[in-house]
Structure 1
Amino acid sequence: MKTGLSFILNLFLITWLASSSVFAQLRPATFQMSGDHLLESKVNINAGNQECLVALKILISSANAVLPKAPYSIVNKAATPLSGSKNDYLSLAPYWWPNPSTSTGLPYIQKDGQTNPEVNDIKDNSYVRDISRDIWILGLAYYFTDNEQYAAKATELLKVFFLDSATRMNPHLKYAQLIQGDNAVYGTGIVDTESFSELIDGVQLLAGSNSWAPDNQQALQDWFSEYLTWLLTSDKGKKAKIAPNNIGTAYDVQVVTYALFIGNKTLAKSIIEKQTYNRIESQLTLLGEQTYELTRTNAWTYCNKNLAQWFNLANCAESVGINLWDYNSVNGKSLKKAFEWMIPYGGGTKPWPYQQISVFKPEYLTATAREGSAIYKDVDLQLLLSPTHERFIAGAYLELLTTRYY
């Protein structure tokens, strides 16, 4: 705990910053992470707060591990999409397997929650996830230390993956999550780039560095502008838009984040008001149950995944003056109820009554609950978030810097 004169002085400094024009200049323009909390964490680090210094040490260790990595590029895959261009993203639908009823194994059949190892033969999806996490880590490391080597490495990775014509990913997902023997158009592949929202927050933290120049920022915004247009207009994007489950939520998170990144707040606000509000009504029950996710073979996993996306959306909504945290639908459905409904199962006071074919991991809820504790002050989260709770200790330190918490 923070005690003594240093804590009082630090609190005074944070309060002064929040009430001054200096705050607006220093607050990072992130969308899914709270810029207010990031600035507070930076002040705490500079004031010598021991908890934050431990968190910073962990962050720096993670960032240093990225520095020797070679850049990622989807052109390195062995397989080539039907377009003939390896710059086009390619992946296979993970839960689809050879059909035992046909001599060719086609068309593939679905086994929900069971990943076909064939998907690992194409690395594009792992490249997307890895670069997203690496840019997030490097952006944080640069923001908290002002060490230019982290911004330089992030610049190198971003240029190869998005900007250099020979190695970049083309801004579409036409060939994402293909099902062998099935040529129909599905929206599920859109989730393959959901981690780009995390990447964008990392990019925003590079502002002011010598390495990530304004023309780099503009070029990346142009890339995401093209990708956003594809999401809004393609058949695959339109399918994702109308998906009633976590696919639809992931779609909203992405289009809202990308709209904010390119400076189109009008579009971001419109999507939330015209689509996201309706999803709260259609996805949730009055008790907070997630209707569609509870039908999955890994219902706990998907309920947590979807709730985390809802929290990401609520953070983005703050950028356009919308309070999604406390929104109630006309029938009284809300994110708060969805969050509260999950707590007894994550805290262990109730057994999970739905299907979960993989290992039930209560800690899936912990990270979301940390932020929920800062938003919903009246919700009892001590069983989940007690400082002595092993699930809190394991991995909590980095999130002290990045996530609002009780």
Structure 2
Amino acid sequence: MLKVGKYRCAFALLVFSVIACFSAPSVQLDTVQLAMVKQKIHEGVASERTLAAYKDLLGNAEQLLTMENPTVMDKSIIPPSGNQHDYLSIGRYWWPNPETKDGLPWIRKDGKTNPETQTDAVDRNRLSDMTNGIKNLSLAYYFSEDERYAQKTISIIKTWFLDEDTLMNPNLEFAQSVPGNPEGRPFGILDGRAIASIIPDAIDMLSTSPNWTADYDLKMTRWLSDYLKWLTESDLGKEEGEQENNHGSWYRFQVASLAHYLGDKPLVKKTVELTQQSLDRQLNSNGGQIHELARTRSFFYSCFNLEALTNIAVFGDEAGMDMWDFESEEGKSLALAINYLTPVIGGQDWAHASLHGADVSYIVPILARMSAHTDANEYSKVLTKAIAILVKKERETGSMNKVLQELSLKTTIGY
């Protein structure tokens, strides 16, 4: 039985996706909460949902044991550099130009994914397979302590990041490229967000495995340091950092995440300050996100941007900067932006373009973070309503919601 009401008195403890109070330099995971979930699983007192999520996690991990390790060397399109080790992807919303004989240069159709951009001819799917595989296997290892999962995680890491014959160079010079345009694009840096959010925590969880060596740790620190240097010093990185929409937010998340993991506290503080300053340029007076509302999937992108902003706010805690309650001179704040979205949970229609509707799942992680990091009880109440909507849909469809399922493995709160 799914009991949503149990959330009401416990949301102050909730942490989903990110928190900054770890003994180790974790990025996205609360090690204290994970330890409590692990204990409940092994004592057989975890909630029905948590046990089901754990079973699915182990099932996925078993399948991943036989997965061929992804590598950038397997793409069939060679990057403009001529170096197969350079990551290459094509912007998902770009299509052949019907006005030219050769279809070049491709043109943009916002919100409409071109299937040709998602093939194995480029690296996007392999990057996703790599990060998702590492995420699932490392978490399965943490909960089960089954060394097979650690060994496979390490094997994937070695193939993608460390082995000279198969590694990815620590840059995104040719990410989200456009056929017919030989120049690199800053927007492809968005592809790297999974590396910054998943890999540091996976390394943290692998630290207890006898198969994870000091040499691996040193080499991964070097790779992540080189990638952070590229982000902050390259022309493309600097240009992406100037973007005023979700691209700029996710760029700053990557910088803050890697700086946090590598112990560069001044850079963390600087990045949080830049994020605070960006709010005036991102939000209108009502809290609507100017650039995201112009998109054809406006609700998704509004939540997508807020996911990055609230992730950065967690790093602000470490830097002694309270971004949760921060308000600019123009009155712009995270709360203002979130409050612009929450009427949807109460049944109000979303007044902007949204190709796939206003899916409440998108906002749940954001509300969970706000509820955990602020004293405003309103977010706990709204989150309870949002979860109730998702649980109702679960009962109607007979399938568990992925957001709630993942949440159940990262917090001890039952529902």
TM-score normalised to the size of structure 1? 0.87
Per the TM alignment, residue 228 of structure 1 is displaced from its structure 2 partner at its CA by 0.8
Answer yes or no: is 1:389 the counterpart of 2:387: no
Residue type at the aligned position of 2:236 = K
Percent identity over paired residues: 33
Q: Tell me, in whole angstroms, the C-alpha distance in 2 between the residues paired with 1:255 and 1:369.
A: 23
User: Which deviates the most, 280-289 or 243-252?
Assistant: 280-289
1:255-294 equivalences under 5 Å are 255-273=255-273, 275-294=274-293
Deviations 1:35-59 (A, max 9, x none): 3322332343344323143432232
Per the TM alignment, residue 261 of structure 1 is displaced from its structure 2 partner at its CA by 2.1
1:130-209 equivalences under 5 Å are 130-196=129-195, 197-209=197-209
- Change in CA separation of 1:192 and 1:367 when aligned onto 2, cut-off 3 Å: same
1:2-401 equivalences under 5 Å are 27-51=23-47, 52-121=50-119, 122-196=121-195, 197-273=197-273, 275-345=274-344, 347=345, 349-375=347-373, 376-379=376-379, 380-381=381-382, 382-386=384-388, 388-390=391-393, 393-395=400-402, 396-401=404-409
User: Which deviates the most, 164-173 or 85-94?
Assistant: 85-94
Q: Tell me, in whole angstroms, the C-alpha distance in 1 between the residues paired with 2:287 and 2:32.
A: 29
Per the TM alignment, residue 404 of structure 1 is displaced from its structure 2 partner at its CA by 8.0
Q: Tell me, in whole angstroms, the C-alpha distance in 2 between the residues paired with 1:329 and 1:32.
A: 27
- Quick check: 1:370–1:404 contact (8 Å CA) kept in 2? no
Residue type at the aligned position of 1:398 = E
What SS does the aligned partner of 1:198 have?
Answer: helix
Per the TM alignment, residue 384 of structure 1 is displaced from its structure 2 partner at its CA by 0.6
Superposition RMSD on alpha carbons, in Å?
A: 2.7
- Quick check: 1:63–1:138 contact (8 Å CA) kept in 2? yes
- Change in CA separation of 1:285 and 1:405 when aligned onto 2, cut-off 3 Å: farther
- Quick check: 1:366–1:391 contact (8 Å CA) kept in 2? no
- Change in CA separation of 1:113 and 1:246 when aligned onto 2, cut-off 3 Å: same
What SS does the aligned partner of 1:378 have?
Answer: helix
- Quick check: 1:185–1:235 contact (8 Å CA) kept in 2? no
- Change in CA separation of 1:49 and 1:281 when aligned onto 2, cut-off 3 Å: farther
Q: Tell me, in whole angstroms, the C-alpha distance in 2 between the residues paired with 1:218 and 1:305.
A: 33
What SS does the aligned partner of 1:177 have?
Answer: strand
Q: Tell me, in whole angstroms, the C-alpha distance in 2 between the residues paired with 1:300 and 1:339.
A: 11
- Change in CA separation of 1:40 and 1:330 when aligned onto 2, cut-off 3 Å: farther
What SS does the aligned partner of 1:253 have?
Answer: helix
Residue type at the aligned position of 1:95 = Y
Q: Tell me, in whole angstroms, the C-alpha distance in 1 between the residues paired with 2:138 and 2:151.
A: 10
What SS does the aligned partner of 1:279 have?
Answer: helix
- Quick check: 1:191–1:251 contact (8 Å CA) kept in 2? yes
- Change in CA separation of 1:53 and 1:97 when aligned onto 2, cut-off 3 Å: closer
Per the TM alignment, residue 95 of structure 1 is displaced from its structure 2 partner at its CA by 1.4
- Quick check: 1:280–1:333 contact (8 Å CA) kept in 2? yes
Residue type at the aligned position of 2:231 = L
Residue type at the aligned position of 2:409 = L
Deviations 1:253-276 (A, max 9, x none): 111111122222222222212x11
Deviations 1:122-175 (A, max 9, x none): 341111122111111122122222222111111000000000000000111111
What SS does the aligned partner of 1:176 have?
Answer: strand
- Change in CA separation of 1:404 and 1:236 when aligned onto 2, cut-off 3 Å: farther
Per the TM alignment, residue 189 of structure 1 is displaced from its structure 2 partner at its CA by 0.5
Aligned length: 385
Q: Tell me, in whole angstroms, the C-alpha distance in 1 between the residues paired with 2:53 and 2:115.
A: 36
Per the TM alignment, residue 403 of structure 1 is displaced from its structure 2 partner at its CA by 5.1
Looking at both structures, which has the greater relative contact order when contacts are Cα pairs under 8 Å and sequence separation is at least 6?
Answer: 2
- Quick check: 1:369–1:385 contact (8 Å CA) kept in 2? no
- Quick check: 2:299–2:357 contact (8 Å CA) kept in 1? no
- Quick check: 2:37–2:46 contact (8 Å CA) kept in 1? no
Deviations 1:99-129 (A, max 9, x none): 2222232222211111222212334111112
Per the TM alignment, residue 394 of structure 1 is displaced from its structure 2 partner at its CA by 1.9
Q: Tell me, in whole angstroms, the C-alpha distance in 1 between the residues paired with 2:368 and 2:104.
A: 45
Structure 2 unaligned regions, length at least 5: 3-9, 14-20
- Quick check: 2:37–2:411 contact (8 Å CA) kept in 1? no
TM-score normalised to the size of structure 2? 0.85
What SS does the aligned partner of 2:401 have?
Answer: helix
- Quick check: 2:272–2:315 contact (8 Å CA) kept in 1? no
User: Which deviates the most, 279-288 or 163-172?
Assistant: 279-288
What is residue 21 of structure 1 aligned with on the other side? Answer: none
- Change in CA separation of 1:359 and 1:350 when aligned onto 2, cut-off 3 Å: closer
